[in-house]
Structure 1
Amino acid sequence: MNTQDIQLRDPYILPDSKHKKYYMYGSTDKDIWREGNGFDVYISEDLRHWEGPCTVFHKTDNFFAEVNFWAPEVYEYHGRYIMFATFRRKDNDLLGTAVLSAEQPTGPFALHSSGPVTPADWSSLDGTLYIDEENQPWMVFCHEWQQVGDGEVCAMRLSPDLSESVSEPVILFRASEAAWTTPFHSQRFPGTGNYVTDGPFLFRTAPGSLLMLWASFVDGRYALGIAKSPSGSLMGPWLQEPEPLYSSDGGHGMVFRTWEGQLMLAVHTPNRTPEERPIFIPVVEDGDSLKVSPMNRQTG
């Protein structure tokens, strides 16, 4: 199938250099707001034509969540494949990011942590893996705006096997610190700041700056911005780019490099179910940041 035929949110690409294949994961339930079944993967050699879907995870009868299976990211880590994914817990109706593992990128994935590793009394989502300069693993994630009003991006250190947290969360920044964000007006959650944080992803530039892609809203449209830590440290301080990198009703992005060496941004757009589709946009390093390539070509 072609990219434009795939309904998928929160695209995450795992390049397989050995077999020259791209594995695309994402939120793949047809209605991710009301369903919770599992995750699929699609496999491609050219980012245009895909095999699949292949189920990589399906909930069991005793799984801790029933709805909202979101944003899987898969990494090769110490000889296994690790998935970070967000689920809504049955016991307290809060979102949390759990860790799963498998022997192959096609799964099957099973719980690696005992449940969400994010704080039990927080509504947390979109965990992503970061390995620091001392080779220590961290989970960077969002403390949901629906709980705190002004959404936060936080970090906490993980055990070496990634199965549990070993530090308290640290707030890296809040959504309203970015000049480009506007409140997300929702009648469901009145009385909050309504500043959204979604989908953090970290990328180190050639000069050594640490960048973070993250999503929010501009006048009701989903958008993707960049925060940067000029020190190169996860602890920042984090400075926000004044303008979004992508603002055409799409976001939850990540970057990867193609076999030809092109740096590519993956996002989903539009931000409407069931119309959302993954797209791939060439980007280039621009000093200590990223910008859309002058080629301005979209694949998908």
Structure 2
Amino acid sequence: MNVYNDACDVLNPRTGLRLDEIPAHDPFIFTDKTTQTYYLYTGGSPELHGMERYGVLAYKSNNLKEWEGPFVVFEVPDDVWANPQHGAWAPEVHLYKGRYHLFVTLHNNDKALQGEGHGGFPLQWRGTVIAVADSLLGPFEMTKRDTPIVSEQLMTLDGSLYIDEEGSPWMVYCHEWVQTADGTVEAIRLKEDLSDRSSSAPIHLFNGSSAPWDNGDLLSDGATSAYVTDGCQLYRTSNNRLIMLWSTYNKGSYVQTIARSTTGTLEGPWEQLEPLVHDDSGHGMLFQTFEGEWRLILHSPFSMPQSRSKLYEMTDTGESFIVKTTASRYMETF
């Protein structure tokens, strides 16, 4: 049963939905030029969507204005390390070697890790898995079922695919502030078929505290301070500059920010640029329209069920990406 509106009832997909009618967290858009269709992915839950277990939902559109859905493309199975009742975060889908690969963060709150989490939060299994399908609407099947891609002893999240200059695949991900207090962005080389991590050790890219404007405030009551790292995704500008979107908090509010590799390589070093969007907004990603124009999609506010996707027109300056048109003005053009 859907507890807040009919727009997200997985038993009854609808047409003609606007983005402000679709509850969404950590939105990701895949542009399918072959069919001239945009696919929007977000997490799905029993409480909000009438699902029996957590998973991933998709909506589709040919104009970014009207959407059809939701469609269930992945559900956490019973015979894996994750608990199907404990969450599915930050889905994203990439076309790699002719198949579609879903990256999504799963959880098992019953599998405790040693030690005490920052701010008294529990330490437990949390990490990104990869699932594969032949269709953008799934069903996606996990490639590795016994543990997350990154070591289960590390609380990690928001894994994203990156292909380096030699064509080798990596997963860029965040190491959870709950375990580290100062969250990090790291990367690990994947096997060529994306079935698992390689034998190489992870590399450290930067800490959440690297953002000079971030004061470390997390909780609204001020009781806990931490440096959050969320939603890391990488892109190339027209001048081949390597850019990373990521999110954190500033003065207790979620922020969409951006970093740039000074060497143009994954290893960095990384310099922190001015945030793109404030106002409790973040975990965004960039995509190009059918016409080749850049857009940013993110969610705001942070908390569900109020959270909605917002679109921004972006400009590729060659050195970075900047916001061209605010979400409210851009949506008015529809």
Place the TM-score, normalised by the shorter chain, in its bin.
over 0.9
Structure 2 residue 119 is matched with structure 1 residue 87: no
Structure 2 residue 77 is matched with structure 1 residue 60: yes
Unaligned runs of 5+ in 2: 1-16, 113-123
Q: 1-side partners of 2:183 and 2:192: how far apart?
A: 28
- Aligned partner of 1:96 in structure 2 is 127
Q: 1-side partners of 2:19 and 2:220: how far apart?
A: 34
Structure 1 residues 106-255: aligned runs within 5 Å = 106-114=137-145, 115-166=147-198, 167-186=200-219, 194-241=226-273, 243-255=274-286
Q: Deviations over 1:233-287 (max 9, x none)?
A: 000010001x211112110011011112220001001112110001110010124
Structure 2 residue 17 is matched with structure 1 residue 17: no
**1:294: Cα distance to partner?**
5.1
**1:218: Cα distance to partner?**
1.2
8 Å CA contact 1:130, 1:138 repeated in 2: yes
Q: Which has the higher helix share?
A: 2
Q: 2-side partners of 1:2 and 1:203: how far apart?
A: 27
Q: 2-side partners of 1:140 and 1:15: how far apart?
A: 21
Q: 1-side partners of 2:232 and 2:127: how far apart?
A: 15
Q: 2-side partners of 1:220 and 1:202: how far apart?
A: 25
Please, what is the CA RMSD of the aligned residues?
2.1
Q: Aligned to 1:94, what secondary structure does the other structure show? A: strand
**1:185: Cα distance to partner?**
3.4
TM-score, scaled to structure 2 = 0.84
8 Å CA contact 1:31, 1:274 repeated in 2: no
Larger radius of gyration: 2
**1:190: Cα distance to partner?**
6.5
When residues 109 and 189 of structure 1 are mapped into structure 2, their CA distance, relative to the original with a 3 A threshold, is farther
Picking from 69, 74, 77, the partner of 2:88 is 69
Q: 2-side partners of 1:134 and 1:149: how far apart?
A: 34
8 Å CA contact 1:7, 1:28 repeated in 2: no
Structure 2: which amino acid aligns with 1:59? V
Q: 1-side partners of 2:181 and 2:127: how far apart?
A: 17
8 Å CA contact 1:180, 1:244 repeated in 2: no
Q: 2-side partners of 1:185 and 1:51: how far apart?
A: 35
Q: Which has the higher strand share?
A: 1
Structure 2: which amino acid aligns with 1:5? E
Q: Aligned to 1:106, what secondary structure does the other structure show? A: coil
Q: 2-side partners of 1:295 and 1:188: how far apart?
A: 30
Structure 2: which amino acid aligns with 1:78? K
Picking from 65, 79, 87, the partner of 1:48 is 65
8 Å CA contact 1:30, 1:274 repeated in 2: no
**1:56: Cα distance to partner?**
0.2
Q: 2-side partners of 1:219 and 1:31: how far apart?
A: 30
When residues 2 and 160 of structure 1 are mapped into structure 2, their CA distance, relative to the original with a 3 A threshold, is same
Structure 1: which amino acid aligns with 2:58? V
Q: Deviations over 1:125-182 (max 9, x none)?
A: 0000000000000000000001000000000100001111112111100011111222
Percent of aligned pairs sharing the same letter = 40
Picking from 21, 24, 31, the partner of 1:8 is 24
Q: 2-side partners of 1:45 and 1:140: how far apart?
A: 30
Q: Aligned to 1:147, what secondary structure does the other structure show? A: helix
8 Å CA contact 2:219, 2:252 repeated in 1: no
- How many residues are aligned here? 296
